A and B are shown apart, each in its own frame.
Chain A
Amino acid sequence: MRNIQTQREDRKRFFIDGLRPFLGAVAESRMLYVPKKVGDRYTFTAYDPSGAAQSEINNIRAFTTVKEFLFPLRERVAAFPRRGEANRAKPFAILGLKDCDLRSMAVLDQVFLEEDFHDPFYEQRRKNMFVIASDCFDPAASCCCTLFGGGPFAHSGFDLNLSQTKDGFVVEIGSDEGTRFVEDHAGLFAEASKAQIAEQTENRSQMRQRLETLNAPYEVGTPVNELLAQSGDTDAFDIEEQKCVECQACTRICPTCHCFYLYETVRKDYFAKMKMWDSCMRMAYAAVAGGANPRKVLGDRIRHRLMHKFSFFFDRYGIGMCIGCGRCIDGDTHGMDIRVVLKKLDAEREGSKRAGVAS
C-alpha cells in the first residue's frame, strides 16, 4: 500500500490549459470518442476535429458503458465457410472514463482475457484502446463507488488521466503508451506547478469526502462477498421480485455484466455464428431444450444475479464484480436499489447474529 502511495506522489504531472489542441493530437492517429451531454446525462460521440462542437469533460461517468466499445452488443465470431475477419479493430481513444469505468474493464479483462480462453475480438479491441481517464467533480446521487473500493479518481488502468482545475487540466501518465504520447507531443504539455497539483489534490479529497458522506447510510458491516455468500437462502430476493418488472435494463446498463448468447444465422452467401448480449434476468435464460429451468422463478434470477455479482465472481477471480457506478439504480424503473438490498442483507445478518448470541 505504502509503495503505491509513494509511486503516486512521485508520478510526474503535466498541465494543459485547454482541451482542443490535446484532443486534436489524440485524434491524429486514432478514432477518438468524447463525452457528449444528452439531457442531464453523458454519452460518447465521435470527436469533431473541425471544433464546431465544443468538447467538454464529463463531471460524472457517462451513462454509456465502456463495455460497448470492447464487447459490442452483437458481433460475428465465426463463419461457415470461413472468411476474413469481420471487423479488425482499429486504434481508438475514449476521453472521460472514470475510475468506475476503468475498474469495470478490469472485471471484463478477467473474463475475456482469461488464461486458457482468450476472446480474440475483445483482446484486439482492448489492445487498440487508448484510455484518457478523468476525475469526477460532480458525482450523482446513485454513485456508490466508495462502497466498493473505488473513488472519484483513478489510480491505474489509464494511459493518461486529466484532473480539471480552475484554468486547465493536470495530466498524469499511467502507461508506456501514455508516456510516448506526451513525449511525442511535448509542446502541448507544461510541467504542472505546485499550486496546480495542490488544487488537484484538494479537489480530489473534497470529492472523496462528498462521496463518502453520500454513501455513509449504505455502509455495511461485512465485506459484500461474505455477506452474499451467507445470504443464499434469504427471502430478501423474493421480496425484491415484487418490484422487478423484468425489463433487463440492469444487466444491459451494467458495465460488468457480460452474459452473451451464441446463435447461428444465414447471410447471403455464408452462415454466421453471432455473439449477442444476453441477460440472466430473462425467463428462459437457463432453460434447456428438454424444458427444465433452474431459475424459472424471478426471485431466483434476482438471487443468482446478485450472488454472481457480489459473491461467485469474487470466488473465481478474487475481485468484486460490482464497481459501484450506480447505473442500475438510475436505470431501474421500479425502485430496486442494490445499496438498499445489501443493507437489508446486512441487517438480517446482524439480526441473526444477535439471535444466535441470545439463544
Chain B
Amino acid sequence: MRSGLYETTNAEIVDIILESPMIRSYVVVPEGPIEFATGQFVELTLPGVGEAPFTPSSSPADSYKMELTIMKAGRVTGILHECEKGEKVSIRGPYGNGYPVDDFVGKEVYIIGGGVGLAPIRSLFLTLIERIGDFKSVVCRFGARTPNDFIYKNALHGPWKQMDGVDIKLTVDQGDGDWRGNVGVVTTICKKDDVDVENAVAVICGPPIMMKFATRSMLNFGFKDTQIYLSMEKNMSCGFGKCGHCMIGKYYVCKDGPVFTYDQIKRYRNIWD
C-alpha cells in the first residue's frame, strides 16, 4: 500500500531548452530518484497553480533527472512557460503502463510522430537505441507544421540520423526557404515498401487528427489492430484510475494506458477527439 497516494516529490527545474516557439524542454531534478519506464507519465505540480500530466522525453536509464518537453497549451503550461531555472516544482508518479519494449524485440519498430508527440517518442527512441541490436530496425517518420516547429532539431538533423539500424525521414506541412525535405502530412512519407508489415509494430504519437490518419494508413499497409500502439492523450488528473476524467470506454488512460493497441480502444466512440 502507498501511504501518500497524493503526495508529491519536490523537484527543481535546473535547465530549460527552447525547442520551438511554443515548446520547451525542462530538465527537472527530483529530491530523490524517480524510476520510470519509457512511455509512463508523471504529474508535474506547480504548487498553488495546478498540475498537468507529461511523459518524460528522457531515457529511463537516468532516474536522477528527467526531461519534460512541454507545449504551451493551457493555463498550467502557460505559467510553466514563464518559469525560469531554479523554479521549485513537484512530481507525482510515474503512472501508467509505458511502451511494451520487450514485445518489440526482433521486430521493425515503425514510429510515426508529430509535433510535441515526439516527446514520448524521444524517450522510447533513446531506450531502443541502447539495445538496438535487439530490433530488426527502428524506422522514424516525423512531421511538424514548419521546419522551425520541429523539436529536438539538433538530434534529428544530426546524430540520430547517423545511427546504425535507424532510418529517419522528416516532413513539414509548410516549408521555408531552407527546407529541402518533404512537404506534406506525415503519412506522405510513410511508404508500404519501407516496412515489413508481418514483422513490425507501429508506434504512433502526435496530435489526434494525425494519429487518426496515421492509424488508417497503417491499417491500409496491412498492420493488424494489435500491432498498432497509440499513446493516448486524455485528461489524466489523478493518475491511478479513480477520478474518471481520462476514461476511454472501460479503460482509465492513466492506469491501463497511456499506451494502447488500436485493438483495445477501436470499439469506443470519439477516441480521436
Give the Cβ gap from B171 to chain A, nearest Cβ, in Å: 21
Tell whether, in the assembled complex, residue B48 and residue A265 are in contact, meaning their CB atoms are under 8 Å apart.
yes
A247 at interface, CB cutoff 8 A: no
Contacts A264-B49, A300-B270; A286 near B77 (Cβ below 8 A): no
Q: How large is the interface on B (under 10, 10 to 19, 20 to 34, 35 or more residues)?
A: 35 or more
Is A264 a contact partner of B45 (Cβ separation < 8 A)? yes
* A77 sits at the interface (CB 8 A): yes
Interface size on A, residues (CB 8 A): 47
Interface contact tally, CB-CB below 8 A: 123
B6–A232 CB distance below 8 A: no
| Cβ–Cβ contact A289 & B2, under 8 A | no
Q: Are A294 and B234 in contact, CB atoms less than 8 angstroms apart?
A: yes
Interface bits A310-326 vs B (CB < 8 Å: 1, else 0): 01100110000000000
Q: Which residues, 217 to 238 on B, are CB-close (under 8 Å) to A?
A: 233-235, 237-238
Interchain nearest-CB distance for A265 vs B (Å): 7
Q: Which residue of chain B has the shortest Cβ distance to A305 in the bound complex?
A: B244
A-binding segment of B56-64, B180-188, B246-254: B246-254
B50–A263 CB distance below 8 A: yes
Tell me if B208 counts as interface (CB < 8 A to partner A).
yes
Interface residues of B in 1-58 (CB under 8 A from A): 1-8, 10, 45-52
Partner of A112, one of B50, B242, B273: B242
Convert A163-174 into 0s and 1s, putting 1 for each residue whose CB lies closer than 8 angstroms to a CB of B.
000000000000
Interface string of A250-292 (1 = CB under 8 A from B): 0000000011111111100001010100101000011111101
Q: A119-B5, A271-B47 are in contact. Are A261 and B243 (CB under 8 A)?
A: yes
In the assembly, what is the distance between CA of A77 and CA of B92, in Å? Answer: 13
Please give, as numbers and ranges, the residues of chain B lying within 8 Å of A308 by CB-CB distance: 244, 247, 250
Q: Contacts A260-B238, A260-B242, A286-B245: A118 and B5 contacting too (C-beta < 8 A)? A: yes
Knowing A258-B242, A312-B249 are in contact, say whether A289-B76 is a contact too (CB < 8 A). yes
Known contacts A266-B48, A286-B245; A293/B73 CB under 8 A: no
Q: Which of A82-126 contact B (CB under 8 A)?
A: 82, 111-112, 114, 116-120
Establish whether residues B250 and A262, one from each chain, have CB atoms under 8 Å apart when the complex forms: no
Residue A295, interface by CB 8 Å: yes
Residue contacts A-B, CB under 8 angstroms, 19 given: A78-B7, A80-B45, A80-B90, A82-B7, A118-B2, A119-B5, A260-B242, A264-B47, A271-B47, A271-B48, A273-B8, A273-B45, A280-B244, A288-B73, A290-B207, A294-B269, A300-B270, A308-B250, A316-B250
Chain A residues within 8 Å of B, Cβ to Cβ: 77-78, 80, 82, 111-112, 114, 116-120, 232, 258-266, 271, 273, 275, 278, 280, 285-290, 292-296, 300, 303-304, 307-308, 311-312, 315-316
